[in-house]
Structure 1
Amino acid sequence: MPQKNLDPSSSPRALLGAELRVARERAGMSQAELGERLFVSGAFIGQLEAGTRRMHLEFARQIDDILDTGGFFVRNCGAAAKSKYPDHFAAAAEAEALATSIREYAPQLIPGLLQTEAYARAVFRAGHPTAPEEVIDELVANRLARAALLDDPTAPLFWCVLDEAVLRRGGESPEVMAEALRHIARLIRAHRIIVQVLPFSAGMHAAMGGAIKLMSFDDAPPLSYVEGMGTGLLFDDPATVTHHTLTYDLLTANALSPRKSLALIESVAEDCEHDQHA
């Protein structure tokens, strides 16, 4: 059985998942068999082992008992659960870092992976008008750290549908919006991301309920994430993920082509720059 505690500085969730796989196989159990004992799916066990899902304390206790691991998973569950992100988003952010493809619909804001520092700061300040500056600094730093995912020129595949409202919500700082849109345009022209704009002229659409994020992985089933104000839910149920995937496909079918979307993004950026100078 595992003996040493995990090092919290070295991807504790991935290490915990690897130890779970070793302990399960040592016990001669399949993912489905262990899942049955825990009243979850075998796919969920696979996601725990791949590090795409967080192991909660109640599962850790049961796993220690079922696999006879001497309290290893309870002792290390805390290290694997630590996150710099809000509770409702932590699991999605950590899964996002392991995804091979990310597809996202953004109804109101530029997605976090595409935000500039000034845009992120404006968003956080609007949501936390009385927060000390050091709190805003930390929130911005964490968001920009997520964007480092796109530093790799090949992975993950990032495909985003932006509602036209995202482009038009410039507020009182047109220079911030112009910079943010130019940043997206540069990533598109560098062939690093795919972006489509869902225009107002599309009318009612399949995702009127809010934001959707779809994530795929090499060694784990896909996940979907839906988010509201201060809330978020991560799904692994195949039927739910399939429904959210269809919703996203309908959005792309009604959105402008990538070429026309880029033209609109750059046009709005020019308008913002004109407003700035005016």
Structure 2
Amino acid sequence: MPSRRVITGRSQEPRRRFAEELRLLRTDKGDSLRQLEAVLGWNASTFGKMEGGQSLGGPEIVEALDQHYGTTPMLLTLWELAMADPSQFKEQYRRYMALEAEAVSLWHYASANLHGLLQTPGYAREFLAAGGLDGVELTAQVEARVGRSQLLGAGDAPRFRSILSESVLRTTLRDRGEWRGQLEHLLVMGERRNVTLHVLPFSTGLHALSNTDTVFLRHRDGSTVAWVETGYAGELVQESAEVERLQLRYDLVRDLALSPDESCLFIRRLLEEIPCEPSA
């Protein structure tokens, strides 16, 4: 096979390409970072981090840049590709990410932490920081995780079901406001037609998936694979007999869980337990 002919010489890696285009557009227009700050209202350091690849920014700032440069919707398209790029995740998760993006349904059980598709930026940041990330890498991983959540809002979004152990909902964030926002986010997500949430109360006792986070991913050809994760490692299970055994365990746990309506009430009661911040 002949080698790929280089046409532009620009990066083919989505995150790096996005940063390159931002930098080229600004320099071609003759703008400084301070001029962008004056015109668009965001801090000059924010634009600098985006051009340096340390941050992707949010859709609002990218749309503003598209309008400023007259490139709509090129930058927003590059931003979406960068946010969805599996290469931002650690090697062991890249295969899972590819399968997740292609799935028509995802059935999930959470023993300890919320699935990435349900996490707010505040939850993702504290969770990833607890795992040892900081600085530029932490910011990049938070943005990548938040970008993943857009999968559930797409026009062809997969069906998503998550059974949440009560321990997941009792393990709060240090910032009460961020934790309140996360619980409120769960209620909003549970209202989506393609999302179903269950709570598994402590009163259920021991069950078949007590210490294992599990996701089943079904694809258009009818095949199903499972991703099993502990606190230290993740494993892709593809052998049909093993997947079937795990699915039986999952079905038993789902039978023990609260209904979606009961689960919504459970989360609302948790929200009522969070002290409101005193008014200024």
- When the two structures are superposed, what TM-score results if normalisation uses the length of structure 2? 0.67
Structure 2 Cα separation of the partners of residues 133 and 242 of structure 1 = 41
Describe the superposition over 1:207-229 as per-residue Cα deviations: whole angstroms up to 9, x where unpaired.
Answer: 02310000000036211010122
Q: Secondary structure at the match of 2:174?
A: coil
* Aligned residue type for 1:232: G
Aligned residue in 1 for 2:198: 196
CA contact (8 A) 2:126 2:173 kept: no
Q: Secondary structure at the match of 1:242?
A: helix
Q: Secondary structure at the match of 1:224?
A: strand
Greater RCO structure (CA 8 Å; 6+ sep):
1
* Aligned residue type for 2:125: R
Structure 2 CA distance for partners of 1:186 and 1:135, relative to 1, 3 Å: same
Aligned residue in 1 for 2:148: 146
Q: Secondary structure at the match of 1:83?
A: helix
Structure 2 CA distance for partners of 1:236 and 1:3, relative to 1, 3 Å: farther
Shift of 1:111: 0.9
Matched, 1:213 2:215: yes
* Aligned residue type for 1:144: V
Shift of 1:189: 2.0
Describe the superposition over 1:79-114 as per-residue Cα deviations: whole angstroms up to 9, x where unpaired.
Answer: xxx722112222111100100000100111111001
* Aligned residue type for 1:125: A
CA contact (8 A) 2:121 2:146 kept: yes
Shift of 1:230: 3.3
* Aligned residue type for 1:207: L
Describe the superposition over 1:165-186 as per-residue Cα deviations: whole angstroms up to 9, x where unpaired.
Answer: 1111114222111101111101
CA contact (8 A) 1:179 1:269 kept: no
Structure 2 Cα separation of the partners of residues 158 and 276 of structure 1 = 33
CA contact (8 A) 2:123 2:173 kept: no
Aligned residue in 2 for 1:112: 116
* Aligned residue type for 1:113: L
Aligned residue in 1 for 2:188: 186
Q: What runs of 5+ residues in structure 1 fail to find an aligned partner? A: 12-81
Structure 2 Cα separation of the partners of residues 114 and 108 of structure 1 = 13
Equivalent in 89, 96, 101 of residue 93 of structure 2: 89
Structure 1 Cα separation of the partners of residues 194 and 180 of structure 2 = 20
Equivalent in 127, 132, 138 of residue 123 of structure 1: 127
- When the two structures are superposed, what TM-score results if normalisation uses the length of structure 1? 0.68
Structure 1 Cα separation of the partners of residues 4 and 220 of structure 2 = 27
Q: What runs of 5+ residues in structure 2 fail to find an aligned partner? A: 15-85
Q: Which portions of structure 1, spanning 4 or more consecutive aligned residues, are displaced by more than 3 angstroms?
A: 2-11, 275-278
Q: Which deviates more from structure 2 when the two are superposed, residues 98-107 or residues 215-224?
A: 215-224
Q: Secondary structure at the match of 1:97?
A: helix
Q: State the number of aligned residues.
A: 205
Shift of 1:232: 0.7
Structure 2 Cα separation of the partners of residues 214 and 201 of structure 1 = 25
Describe the superposition over 1:16-45 as per-residue Cα deviations: whole angstroms up to 9, x where unpaired.
Answer: xxxxxxxxxxxxxxxxxxxxxxxxxxxxxx
Identical amino acids, percent of aligned pairs: 28
CA contact (8 A) 2:166 2:201 kept: yes
Matched, 1:102 2:106: yes
Structure 2 Cα separation of the partners of residues 120 and 175 of structure 1 = 14
* Aligned residue type for 2:202: F
Equivalent in 212, 225, 232 of residue 223 of structure 1: 225
Describe the superposition over 1:183-207 as per-residue Cα deviations: whole angstroms up to 9, x where unpaired.
Answer: 1101112334100000000000110
Structure 2 CA distance for partners of 1:253 and 1:92, relative to 1, 3 Å: same
Matches within 5 A, 1:155-194: 155-194=157-196
CA contact (8 A) 1:177 1:269 kept: no
Structure 2 Cα separation of the partners of residues 143 and 252 of structure 1 = 26
Structure 2 CA distance for partners of 1:137 and 1:10, relative to 1, 3 Å: closer
CA contact (8 A) 2:226 2:236 kept: yes
CA contact (8 A) 2:158 2:194 kept: no
CA contact (8 A) 2:111 2:211 kept: no
Structure 2 CA distance for partners of 1:245 and 1:4, relative to 1, 3 Å: farther
CA contact (8 A) 2:225 2:238 kept: yes
Q: Secondary structure at the match of 1:207?
A: coil
Structure 1 Cα separation of the partners of residues 233 and 222 of structure 2 = 24
Structure 2 Cα separation of the partners of residues 225 and 6 of structure 1 = 38
Structure 2 Cα separation of the partners of residues 178 and 98 of structure 1 = 32
